[in-house]
Structure 1
Amino acid sequence: MSFLHAAWLKRLKPLARWVVVGAAIAFLLHTLVRHWDDISSLRISPQGWSLLLLALGVTLLAHTWAGWVWSWALQALQQPIPGSWSAPVYLQTNLLKYLPGNVWHFFGRVRALRSAGVDNGTAIIGVALEPLLMAAAALVVGIATPTHYWPLQLLSLGVVLATLSPRWLNPLVNRLGRSKTAAITASESPSPPPIQNSKFKIQNSPSPGLRHYPLKPLLGQFGYIALRGIGFCLVLNAVTPLAAIAWPSTISAFSLAWLGGLVVPGAPGGLGVFEAIALSLLQGQFSAAVVLSAVVLYRVVSTLAEALGAGLATLDQSLSSTLK
């Protein structure tokens, strides 16, 4: 009976994902149709285009910084991975999150780590640790935005911060390291785009696991969330004047919307979920037409930044290989 119950839940899980994403997209389309006249009347000034270009640069810097901070998380797991290796791999695999399932960028990073000599358990935890750190940073920044779910935000933050402790993560590293299923999953995942710098090899891989709380990479993720929030504020400022005093609350609301897109499974790159949450959080501060225009523009800016980052990382590695 329990087997049938588990099988039924397994079938419902993908359906639930599509229901959430479909509801978010339907909400956005309804808002778009309702406020289309206001949206079509908005115009971006030459200064606004300059702000959009600056937002592109800031968002590209945010993704590059996240790739570098990832090396700090791996180093906390006793893996001597330099930022010069982790940042290009991170950028090259980032676009894979837009494939259905929203997990293929994780598979690409696990494969790159395994090819660099990192053991299976540490590779999986090293990849999973990065979004956990991001979620913790986003929750802290998001606390400044009062919502009906503020107690849940605090509870979630406490759970995430506790999960990051060596007491919980180290047994999981050891368990995954011995798991044949995990090894098969990592080895049979779809091949990511060629990672030019995957030739990097760890010499004498140390014992995996955290020796202390990963405070340094956690603090580094605050920089990532701040840069992403600044990029969003620049896009919003291109649509409508944004007072300096409104930037902190806007960044806080952005972090919650971004977090929603991160944690909802099955939404490729948080598509639809981020936009719907941002719209609901910011409508009291700005008109629906302004917020909807800003989130759509930001999606374009963010995707362009990710594509540009992947292209530059691949070009850099190709040039380095040619010079060698």
Structure 2
Amino acid sequence: MKQILARIKPYIRWFIWGGVIFFLIKTVKDRLGEVATISIDHQGWLILSGALMITICAHIWSGWVWTWILQLFKQPLGVKEGIRVYLITNIAKYSPGNIWHFYGRITAVSGVGGSKGAATLSVLLEPLLMASAALLIGLISSGLGVLETDFNPIIVALQLFSLVAVLIGIHPRILNPLMHRLSKSKNKADPTAAQLIKLETYPLMPFLGEIGFVILRGIGFILTFLALQPISAPQIPQLIGAFSFAWLLGLVVPGAPGGLGVFEVTAYSLLDDALFPAEIAAVALYRLISILAEAIAAVGSFKKTKNQ
């Protein structure tokens, strides 16, 4: 059995990437059909180009933040290589299962001599910090009355409790014992390996970095709306808040590769039709921009890797 697995292992990677490309093309095709009837003038196309560039920068920034997390775990993957790995594997989240981008990053870290356990924790900690950042921004918008939602006080209280619980749960005094137990169960042959996987400081900078990521993505979201309809200053925080909640649910709802469908439905429900008449077209167009940004960043990173 091991010999069979060893023979087919080199082909598994290409099988996975083939599936990713297939589902990515299908998603792009579906979104193109949704936005084909949208009328955009010359100025609108310039604004959309800006939204695309901002979204690409957001993904590059997110890859950089991931390398900060790796540094907290003292992993050997460098900043440039870490960003490349992050961008190349990012589009794999659109494949069924929504885990292959994590697998690619874990494999890359262990491939340069890093700890597979620490790499696993880094890819688990990153979405936790992302979710906390998006929830914080959404709660601030809702709490200030900027974003009018149908959420009752009990739901808001549960959201606030979840945010506090996550931010406390990632404190080294709480997270390190959990990591040690997990590592011991995975490394029974080498119990000392568990002690090497630990956080020595609170991941404050990565958390702040993820706040920046969500804000950058939100700016791309706003620019997409601006290309289709006029946007006033009071509407900007509303769009940021709606984006944060929609993106958060797209991130945490299981079985939704890349948040497909969940993000769109949530954004539609949070935005007022009277204030944002172009919401359906804008949200669909933003999804297409987001996918294109991830694909462009991945292809660019892959080419750089091949040239070196």
- TM range, smaller chain: 0.7 to 0.9
**Which of 94, 112, 116 is equivalent to 2:112?**
116
1:7-26 counterparts in 2 under 5 A? none
The answer on whether the counterparts of 1:261 and 1:271 sit within 8 Å (CA) in structure 2 is: yes
Give the TM-score of the pair, scaled to structure 1: 0.75
The answer on whether the counterparts of 1:78 and 1:209 sit within 8 Å (CA) in structure 2 is: no
Give the TM-score of the pair, scaled to structure 2: 0.79
Q: Which residue of 2 aligns with 1:303?
A: 291
Pick closer, same or farther for the CA change 1:42–1:309 going to 2, 3 Å. Answer: closer
String of CA shifts for 1:188-230, please: whole Å, max 9, x gaps.
Answer: xxxxxxxxxxxxxxxxxx9321111100111111110110000
Deviates more, 1:269-278 or 1:166-175: 166-175
Q: Give the CA deviation at 1:40.
A: 8.8
Q: Which residue of 1 aligns with 2:79?
A: 83
Q: Give the CA deviation at 1:158.
A: 0.8
Q: Give the CA deviation at 1:179.
A: 3.3
Whole-angstrom CA distance in 2 between matches of 1:176 and 1:285: 51
Q: Which residue of 1 aligns with 2:25?
A: none
1:187-206 counterparts in 2 under 5 A? none
Pick closer, same or farther for the CA change 1:108–1:181 going to 2, 3 Å. Answer: farther
Q: Give the CA deviation at 1:70.
A: 0.4
Whole-angstrom CA distance in 2 between matches of 1:181 and 1:254: 41
Count matched residues: 261
Whole-angstrom CA distance in 2 between matches of 1:274 and 1:177: 34
1:145 has 2:141 as partner: yes
The answer on whether the counterparts of 1:142 and 1:253 sit within 8 Å (CA) in structure 2 is: yes
Whole-angstrom CA distance in 2 between matches of 1:249 and 1:125: 34
Identity score, percent: 48
Amino acid at match of 2:204: L
Q: Give the CA deviation at 1:302.
A: 0.3
Unaligned runs of 5+ in 2: 1-33, 143-148, 189-194
1:222 has 2:211 as partner: yes
Unaligned runs of 5+ in 1: 1-35, 183-205
Q: Which residue of 2 aligns with 1:127?
A: 123
Q: Which residue of 2 aligns with 1:160?
A: 166
Whole-angstrom CA distance in 2 between matches of 1:178 and 1:280: 45
Q: Which residue of 2 aligns with 1:293?
A: 281
The answer on whether the counterparts of 2:73 and 2:118 sit within 8 Å (CA) in structure 1 is: yes
Whole-angstrom CA distance in 1 between matches of 2:140 and 2:273: 16
TM-align CA RMSD: 2.4
Pick closer, same or farther for the CA change 1:93–1:285 going to 2, 3 Å. Answer: farther
Whole-angstrom CA distance in 2 between matches of 1:158 and 1:151: 11
Q: Give the CA deviation at 1:142.
A: 0.6
Moved over 6 A (4+): none
Whole-angstrom CA distance in 2 between matches of 1:102 and 1:181: 26
Pick closer, same or farther for the CA change 1:41–1:128 going to 2, 3 Å. Answer: closer
Q: Give the CA deviation at 1:173.
A: 2.3
Q: Which residue of 1 aligns with 2:254?
A: 265
Q: Which residue of 2 aligns with 1:248?
A: 237
